[in-house]
Structure 1
Amino acid sequence: MDLYLQLKADLQHGLFAPGTPLKQSEIAEHYGVSRIPVRDALARLKSEGWLTGHGKRGVAVPLLDPQEAEDLYLMRMHLEPLLLERAAPNLNGELLGRARDILDAMETNPPLDAAALGQLNWQFHTGLYRAAARPTLFNTVEQLQRQCERYIGYQNRSLDYQDTSQREHYQLLELLQRGKTDKACTLLEQHIAAAGRVLVAHLSKPRD
């Protein structure tokens, strides 16, 4: 696997705890590669919010910040229903069928890992949102989603939230298939807000 993808997956899996500094030499030794691909992978992950600056030129795994998590879900709960509302008139049987196939692919035993679930989750939403043909709005939502990935991975891994999320995804799809756009957008807003509140409440708890 490409080092960038491997590192990203390991961050999603919680292999490196929040606050952990990542040194190029140690990462290169751990993955058995030279420092050049490590430097490039770390720079890319930093630009995407998976890593943060540490010291003069180092990087570290960022802490999970309840305020950042709240800001992200507040923006998403307003922008994503807006995008879905504009996509709904263009959603045909083929697009909705693909969306259901993605949801079905998430129903595996044993469950998929956080990285795979995150990818399929975004594919599900992407398949709906792209039908809006509103690239500026879509690109903004996509950037928010990238910033949320580490929080979503943590939530699915640590808070066992995947079952709730999946049930609401199927409900959303059912409403869209029935042409209930207003109810679908309301459900999507509630879906994002409820997950966000659970995560923020958990992150805000005092740590021992």
Structure 2
Amino acid sequence: MQHEPPAAVDDVDREALADGVYRALLRSIIAGEPAPGARLKERDLSERYAVSRVPVREALQRLEAEGFIATEPHRGAVVRRVTRRDIEELFDARLCIEPFATRHAATRLRDGLASPARLEAVLTRSQRHFSAGEESAGISSNLDFHEEVVRLSGNSLLVRSLKPMLGRMEWIFQLTHDAREDEQVLEHVELYDALVAGNAELAAAQAYTHIELGRSPVLAALEPFLADEG
């Protein structure tokens, strides 16, 4: 009987620790503490989260890839102030990925190549959280809904392309959930119905509309948080 080598187990543990630090830091950044411009020192974060510097470094690298922090000369990791251009680019990138993925997801569901069970569970969980007034949990479930639709496309490259956007999407959803909360819940239900019906073109159109309708309200709601372009 073969046993998993210790190094593989260590890798799993390290990834879990790095993910935990990443999520804790993301929640802090969403809450505004640390504020834009603040330095993030590996030693301080290592002590705060009771982990070594390795998972802290990996978490910071992920946050930098998502545009939350920047590495500056002589200062190290610094929290970035998000600009309007950052948000516009995110919406544009989502419009390139999600409608295309949705079309393929609907086709695969129609042909029996994928199951809608996980998507239905995510949608139900989201509705339950919002009904109970659990806004943060509902927003996380909304994020899971978008991720699951892309996963259902069966295209691993699309899944990997969306992943670096998820943190920024969560930042936006958490800060602007009052802007279109009721409409978003309804649009998710409509999108789910089109997907399980296997109506690929309708589902793709709804995905595109769902994203684009959120652009102006989100930008307006984020205005106090956005830095000048210059």
Question: Structure 1 length normalisation: TM-score?
Answer: 0.77
Give 3-state SS (helix, strand or coil) of 1:95's partner.
coil
Give the fraction of aligned pairs with identical amino acids, expressed as a percent. 27
| 2:92 paired with 1:74 | yes
Q: Give the Cα separation in 2 of the matches to 1:164 and 1:43.
A: 35
Q: CA RMSD in A?
A: 3.1
1:176 and 2:195 aligned: yes
Shift of 1:91: 1.4
Please report how far the alpha carbon of residue 173 of structure 1 lies from its aligned counterpart in structure 2 after TM superposition: 0.9
Deviation per CA, 1:117-165, whole angstroms, max 9, x where unpaired?
4542333233332232222233223333344332333223xx4543332
2:166 corresponding residue in structure 1: 145
Contact 2:106–2:197 under 8 Å retained in 1: no
- 1:102 is matched with 122
Give the partner amino acid of 1:166.
V
Aligned twin of 1:85: 103
Q: Name the counterpart of 2:175.
A: 154
Q: How many residues align?
A: 203
Query: Alignment partner for residue 142 of structure 2, among 91, 115, 121?
Result: 121
Contact 2:106 2:203 in 1 (8 A): no
Which residue is equivalent to 1:136?
157
Code of the aligned partner of 1:171 = E
Deviations 1:24-53 (A, max 9, x none): 454455546665654443334223333222
Residue identity in the other structure for 2:85: Q
Letter in 1 for 2:145: F
Identify which of 200, 204, 223 aligns with 1:185.
204
1:7 match: secondary structure? helix
Q: Give the alignment partner of residue 134 of structure 2, picking from 106, 111, 118.
A: 111
In the superposition, the TM-score normalised over structure 2's length comes to 0.71
Map Cα deviations across residues 89-108 of structure 1 (whole Å, 9 max, x no partner).
Answer: 21168732321221121222
In 2, the alpha carbon distance for the partners of 1:36 and 1:198 equals 39
Return 5+ residue gaps in structure 1 as ranges.
none
Instruction: Tell me: higher relative CO, structure 1 or 2? Use CA pairs within 8 A at least 6 residues apart.
Output: 1
Task: Name the SS of the counterpart of 2:77 in structure 1.
Answer: strand
- Report what 2:184 is aligned to: 165
CA distance in 2, matches of 1:36, 1:143: 20
> What is the alpha-carbon distance in structure 2 between the residues aligned to residue 200 and residue 147 of structure 1?
13
* One-letter amino acid matched to 1:110: G
